């Protein structure tokens, strides 16, 4: 039962990331003018990263408490660290966008995308290596 809970949390994390990246963000940018889309996206992403980090902490706590696989523990740690890093990058990314510093914005945004994809792949892939 415990392993199933850890797997469920990992699936929720994956689902949140896929929903935000594949459905929510593109839909917002496609349907809303930029002056409305930007504040909405800026309110969603901090919440997303914090929720993913908290779910990662829950996953880690369960994995440590009940001694599940070392891979589950590693994925949990990766999830917490990378999601927290993404959350920490948001203020600098927003400042770069506000100051029209396109190169800095693109670097920070790309870093956030790469870290988010790493969290997604870790949470989707660990089940094959447990």
**pLDDT of res. 1:** 63
97 vs 37: CA distance, rounded Å: 14
Q: Taking all residues of the chain, what is their mean pLDDT, rounded to a whole number?
A: 95
For the chain, the distance separating the N- and C-terminal CA atoms, rounded to the nearest angstrom, is: 16
pLDDT interval class at 54 (50, 70, 90): very high
- C-beta separation of 53 from 29 below 8 A: no
- Bigger pLDDT: 68 vs 81: 81
**pLDDT of res. 130:** 61
**pLDDT of res. 30:** 97
Q: What is the pLDDT of residues 73-88, one digit of tens each?
A: 999 999 999 999 999 9
- Span 77-103, mean pLDDT? 98
- C-beta separation of 123 from 14 below 8 A: yes
Cα–Cα–Cα angle for 46, 30, 84, nearest 5°?
15
Cα–Cα–Cα angle for 34, 38, 40, nearest 5°?
120
Neighbours of 19 (CB within 10 A): 12
Q: By three-state DSSP, how is residue 73 classified?
A: helix
Q: What is the pLDDT of residues 22-40, one digit of tens each?
A: 999 999 999 999 999 999 9
């Amino acid at each position: 039962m415990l392993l199933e809970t850890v797997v469920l949390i990992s699936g929720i994390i994956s689902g949140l990331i896929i929903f935000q990246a594949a459905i929510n963000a593109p839909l917002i940018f496609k349907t809303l003018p930029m002056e409305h889309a930007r504040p909405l996206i800026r309110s969603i992403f901090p919440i997303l990263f914090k929720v993913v980090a908290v779910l990662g902490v829950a996953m880690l706590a369960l994995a440590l408490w009940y001694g599940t696989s070392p891979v589950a523990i590693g994925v949990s740690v990766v999830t917490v660290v990378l999601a927290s890093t993404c959350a920490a990058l948001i203020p600098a990314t927003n400042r770069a966008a506000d100051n029209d510093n396109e190169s800095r914005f693109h670097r920070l945004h790309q870093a956030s995308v790469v870290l988010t994809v790493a969290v997604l792949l870790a949470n989707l892939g660990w089940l094959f290596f447990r």
